């Protein structure tokens, strides 16, 4: 007669159970690397926002346009009367926001976590301004000039939402979890840690 002994549940370091659920806070065994696509989509969205802002600033700076639709879409246009009394304040503000956005959007292609939050804060502030600008334009009976303000608001809002999504956070470059103390190093997805029998 031949007796076969099976290892008890909980054998291994720190009660590690290769056939049971993973420790709290850790992904399932064999969990693959998250997709990085959303990080690049977010970067492209902010590049579009920055490019449109640059275009608006250049059009206003040139001084040859008489399009109120373009001028009221400048960032800070709603505060020009209180600031400088002309469009120069809005042009400077728009150019500053555009250049800052383009710089950090380019850095986001490296999937740096802190860049995502800088863009999220910048996007939230700009989105809030455009929401105020929509109200300001409508309160001055400028509904016929609101198209570009609405487009800018939607784009900045979309970029901000993308930046703060948890899925975008998972797409950022980060160090791999080493596991809790005594947790054996992980092998290829679907394989048990070294020193344990094959499933």
Q: What secondary structure does DSSP assign to 82-134, as a single string?
A: HHTSSTHHHHHHHHHHHHHHHHHHHHHTT--HHHHHHHHHHHHHHHHHHHHHH
Please say whether the beta carbons of 179 and 26 come within 8 A: yes
Helix (H) or strand (E) holding 67: none
Top-confidence range, 21-30, 143-152, 153-162: 153-162
Q: Residue range 22-42: average pLDDT?
A: 70
Percent pLDDT > 70 in the chain is: 66
Please say whether the beta carbons of 130 and 138 come within 8 A: no
| pLDDT 10s digits, 41-54 | 999 999 999 999 99
Measured in degrees and rounded to the nearest 5, phi and psi for residue 128 equal -65, -40
Burial of 120 (0-12, 13-18, 19+ CB in 10 A): buried
Residue 2 pLDDT grade (very low, low, confident, very high; cuts 50, 70, 90): low
| pLDDT 10s digits, 106-141 | 999 999 999 999 999 999 999 999 999 999 999 988
Reading the block at residue 118, the tokens are: 């800088």
Distance CA 14, CA 179 (A): 11
Q: What is the pLDDT of residue 141?
A: 82
C-alpha torsion sign, points 87, 92, 97, 102: positive
In the predicted model, is pLDDT for residue 9 greater than 80?
A: no
Q: Residue range 93-110: average pLDDT?
A: 95
pTM comes to 0.70
Reading the block at residue 104, the tokens are: 């950090």
Q: What is the pLDDT of residue 59?
A: 86
Q: Residue 197 CB: number of other CB atoms within 10 A?
A: 7
User: How far lies 11's CA from each of 39, 87, 182, in Å?
Assistant: 40, 72, 12
Averaged pLDDT score across all residues of the chain: 78
**Among 115, 87, 121, which residue's Cα sits nearest to residue 103?**
115
| pLDDT 10s digits, 176-192 | 444 444 444 444 555 45
Q: What is the pLDDT of residue 133?
A: 93
Q: What is the pLDDT of residue 24?
A: 62
Q: What is the pLDDT of residue 44?
A: 96
């Amino acid at each position: 007669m031949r007796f076969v002994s099976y290892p008890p549940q909980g054998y291994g370091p720190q009660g590690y159970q290769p056939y049971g659920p993973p420790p709290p806070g850790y992904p399932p065994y064999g969990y693959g690397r998250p997709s990085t696509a959303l990080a690049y989509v977010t970067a492209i969205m902010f590049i579009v926002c920055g490019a449109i802002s640059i275009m608006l600033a250049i059009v206003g700076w040139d001084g040859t346009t008489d399009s109120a639709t373009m001028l009221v879409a400048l960032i800070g246009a709603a505060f020009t009367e209180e600031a400088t009394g002309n469009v120069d304040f809005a042009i400077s503000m728009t150019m500053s926001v555009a250049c800052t956005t383009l710089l950090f959007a380019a850095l986001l292609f490296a999937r740096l976590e802190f860049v995502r939050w800088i863009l999220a804060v910048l996007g939230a502030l700009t989105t809030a301004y455009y929401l105020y600008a929509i109200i300001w334009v409508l309160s001055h009976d400028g509904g016929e000039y609101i198209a570009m303000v609405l487009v800018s608001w939607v784009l900045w809002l979309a970029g901000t939402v993308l930046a703060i999504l948890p899925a975008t956070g998972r797409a950022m470059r980060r160090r791999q979890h080493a596991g809790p103390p005594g947790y054996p190093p992980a092998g290829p997805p679907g394989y048990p840690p070294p020193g344990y029998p094959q499933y």
